[in-house]
Structure 1
Amino acid sequence: MALSEISRNCRLLLSQIQRCRPGLKQTVPARCLSQVAPRPEPSAEPNEDVSPTFVNRNPRNLEQMALAVKDRGWKTSWPHQQFYHRLMFSRSQHHVTAEVFSRSSPIPVLNCSTKEWALKKELPSTSCVAACQAVGEVLAHRCQQAGITRMVYREIPWTYRSDGVQAFRNAMKQGGIILSEPRRKYIGT
């Protein structure tokens, strides 16, 4: 197979050389070995050119367009690992905590808790429904400031029905956070 391609390429090269011989009338403009390749003309719009060595310095942009890669293969584990950002909400006897994790780090990107003095001094109790709502409002504001507008929030069904979780979820939604991520778009793969 490779030998036939080489012989074909040799025949094409010889035919081009024969067409470019002096003394023969050229009817078809052909490129021969003595001709120089034409220089590419500069485009009229230099702002529209894309550099061949383009480096994306804003990977969050791919997440917002749903083109970034999500880890797959975690369907049987809880919680699923297929996310860009995941919201974790927890309540203890004394405090309410909410954290936002990215897919690449076990350390939270953003967090909010009633352990913080600014929240604690405004609340009558640090574990009531009002505390859950306050944590949701503050975390939504912090997410908006950080540019995180979409994240995955999955809660176990029997805790999802509680008033505190519903108040937290509603506060996040009213703060402009969408608690689901778009499905990944597969373009050119």
Structure 2
Amino acid sequence: MAILAHENTLLRLTDAITDVHNVKLLNSTDQSVDASISLARLLVAYTKPFEMDAIETTLDYFYIIKDQKTALGRDIFESAVSRVLYLTGEVRKVIGEIKSSKRTPALIDNYDIDAKAVMTRVAEDTELSGNADQTIEILHTCGGDDRAITVMCKRLDEAITQNDEKLRKKLICAAQKLAKDAPAASHERIQAL
């Protein structure tokens, strides 16, 4: 019902979407009959039970309010993509993968958005969460090969420093694959790797 009201511009949207777990009506202090609801909060609460199983449906719901911003100025749809990738790890399904130096189509291509910009911001979120392997995969997929190589070098450095031979071998194999199929990477970065 709220989505229908939103689409017909009958729903007053609030800017207060920072507390996504709070889905109550927001009452105006000056008029007791004036109330509004945060559609973003409502969507988070509604999609939570199936967000890990029905990724496409979850993203469809958040695409409805793609132009709304969080309190930090982030696009809500971008935040939803980041959350889905964080929770599911389904990078290939959501943003695609590189095959023969080209990105394969994925769920993100179903929406009228700048997919590369969304993927770049999602990669930043993923890097902040500490998941270096997923960050490398996302950066490589969106054409951020130089940054992907930088993150890969840091990851290799950690493996060497920790004296983890198994991880080091795994990362060297991944680094070689990245170096072979990194069309957007500079020659200097590939040499550094």
Q: Mark yes or no: TM-score above 0.5.
A: no
Q: Which has the higher helix share?
A: 2
Q: TM-score, normalised by structure 1?
A: 0.24
Q: Which has the higher strand share?
A: 1
Between the two structures, name the one with larger relative contact order (CA 8 Å, sep ≥ 6): 1
